[in-house]
Structure 1
Amino acid sequence: MIKAVIIDDEINAQSLLEKTLYRHFPNKFNIVEKCNSVDSGVLAIKKHEPELVFLDIQMPEKNGFELFRYFDVVNFEVIFTTAYNQFAIKAIKRSALDYLLKPINHLELSDAVKRFETRNQGSSAQKKLSLLLENLNVNDQNVSKIAFPTLEGFELIHSNQILYCRAESNYCCIKKIDGSLKTASKTLKYVEEILPGKSFQRIHKSYVINLNYVVRYHKANKEVELTNGEKLPVSFRKEEEFINAILQNH
């Protein structure tokens, strides 16, 4: 059984999550404690050493992110629970961590639990949470490292190493400036959302490019040429947006 702790200042939210877990995952979870604050959550984690913590972000006195200040080593996985907060969610996504929007949908919860069961345990949690705390302290354009989910776990890539991203069905192929290719187990739309908006631009339904590596635009052919010599198509619908982005970027 998965030993878990729930940390949420709303008693109703605690109970609903616990009931949902027991209803849809019979004999899979052991909720060892439910806590209503960061401080009580820290005590519960140190006492029970859970494998998984469901952590609310917005709580009075201390928000959920402050929990990690109390641990030198994080050896538990985290699934954040939150009402909509775009900045926090983008930082969570960039760190390859999971979150659930309230009210929690049992299908989304099921997907998050499946990902928890298949991911590597231990040090990966520490790395992802360190990256999260780093991402929370910078603005959108100063983000350097992004954790891209893969079938094996996650791949940490500096955004300035990315030449372009290409859609591959429900996956995304990431082409780096050194010529190597990495496959993210997310859609191009998902990857586009976590890339720094000023440097990256969608030019086609299948491509998002790094504007810093554009050499020229062939207007007649509707093709953009990158520093590695590759030419990628620019769709008619994206052309004006792309040209404006280039002008603003330079």
Structure 2
Amino acid sequence: MIKVVIIDDEIGAQSLLEKTLHKYFPNKFIIADKCPSVDSGVLAIKTYEPDLVFLDIQMPEKNGFELFRYFDAINFEVIFTTAYNQFAIKAIRQSALDYLLKPINHLELAEAIKRFEAKNESSSAQKKLSLLLENLNVNDQNVSKIAFPTLEGFELIHSNQILYCKADSNYCGIKKIDGSQRMATKTLKYVEEILPAPFLRIHKSYVINLNFVVRYHKANKEVELTNGEKLPVSFRKEEEFINAILQNH
């Protein structure tokens, strides 16, 4: 049985999540406690030592991110729940953490539970939450560090070390400025959504870092990067690419 603590200031949201867990995952979860605030949540976690915490982000007195200040070590997994706040969601995804949008859909909940159960031990909650808090405190999101899921767990890469990303079926290749390559177990679309500016999709197969563009060959629609590689720019993306280059410089 998976021991759970639910932290949400909305009593209705607490009850709905509890009922959904019991209905679609019978005999899998024990709801140790339901808490309306960060302070009561901290007490419940220290008392019951749960395996999994469902944590609301927006709460009146303290937001969900403040909960982690009360723990020297994070020995539980977290699934954030939120109704909005795009910046927070992007930071969560950059940190290889999970979240659910309210109202919570049982199919999305099932996927989150599946990821929780299949989690790699090397992908410790402590590291991912530390990265999340680091990214939330970075004023310049262009230098944020991103946790890319890999077959072994996840790998932390500064966004300003990435030259480009290339689609590889359901995976994504990441080419770094030092010439090394990494493989993320996510699609290019997923990676594109967590990359900050000045990354741009220039083709169905490529997302590039505009900071490393040297020149654009308009005749053959190719962009040349600082390492000498030339990548195609699709007809549909050409105008957006040219405008982005002009704005970026």
TM-score range, shorter chain: over 0.9
CA change 1:152–1:26 in 2 (3 A) is farther
Match of 2:47 in 1: 47
Match of 2:205 in 1: 206
Are 1:224 and 2:218 counterparts? no
Residue 141 of structure 1 deviates from its aligned partner by 3.3
Are 1:239 and 2:245 counterparts? no
Cα distance in 1, alignment partners of residues 139 and 149 from structure 2: 22
Residue 138 of structure 1 deviates from its aligned partner by 2.4
> Cα deviations across residues 85-111 of structure 1 (Å, max 9, x unaligned)?
111111111111100001101111111
Per mean C-alpha deviation after superposition, the further-off stretch among 98-107 and 111-120 is 111-120
CA change 1:122–1:76 in 2 (3 A) is farther
Asked if the contact 1:75/1:122 (under 8 Å) is kept, the reply is no
Paired residues, what number? 249
Per mean C-alpha deviation after superposition, the further-off stretch among 54-63 and 223-232 is 223-232
Per mean C-alpha deviation after superposition, the further-off stretch among 160-169 and 176-185 is 176-185
Cα distance in 2, alignment partners of residues 62 and 2 from structure 1: 27
Match of 1:131 in 2: 131
Amino acid at match of 1:191: V
Residue 182 of structure 1 deviates from its aligned partner by 1.6
Matches within 5 A, 1:1-250: 1-121=1-121, 124-139=124-139, 141-197=141-197, 199-250=198-249
Cα distance in 1, alignment partners of residues 122 and 245 from structure 2: 42
SS in 2 for 1:19: helix
Cα distance in 2, alignment partners of residues 84 and 179 from structure 1: 38
SS in 1 for 2:151: coil
Asked if the contact 2:142/2:160 (under 8 Å) is kept, the reply is no
SS in 1 for 2:124: helix
Residue 181 of structure 1 deviates from its aligned partner by 2.0
Amino acid at match of 1:195: L
Asked if the contact 1:53/1:79 (under 8 Å) is kept, the reply is yes
Per mean C-alpha deviation after superposition, the further-off stretch among 206-215 and 34-43 is 206-215
Residue 123 of structure 1 deviates from its aligned partner by 6.9
> Cα deviations across residues 129-171 of structure 1 (Å, max 9, x unaligned)?
1111111122453432111122332111111111101112222
Per mean C-alpha deviation after superposition, the further-off stretch among 94-103 and 209-218 is 209-218
Cα distance in 1, alignment partners of residues 140 and 190 from structure 2: 16
> Cα deviations across residues 212-240 of structure 1 (Å, max 9, x unaligned)?
22122111111111122221100111112
Asked if the contact 1:75/1:123 (under 8 Å) is kept, the reply is no
Cα distance in 2, alignment partners of residues 76 and 115 from structure 1: 14
Asked if the contact 1:215/1:227 (under 8 Å) is kept, the reply is yes
Per mean C-alpha deviation after superposition, the further-off stretch among 183-192 and 110-119 is 183-192
CA change 1:230–1:193 in 2 (3 A) is same
Amino acid at match of 1:204: H
CA RMSD after TM alignment: 1.5
> Cα deviations across residues 194-226 of structure 1 (Å, max 9, x unaligned)?
1112x2111111110011221221111111111
CA change 1:148–1:107 in 2 (3 A) is same
Cα distance in 1, alignment partners of residues 247 and 3 from structure 2: 51
Cα distance in 2, alignment partners of residues 22 and 168 from structure 1: 38
Cα distance in 1, alignment partners of residues 228 and 143 from structure 2: 27
Asked if the contact 1:77/1:121 (under 8 Å) is kept, the reply is no
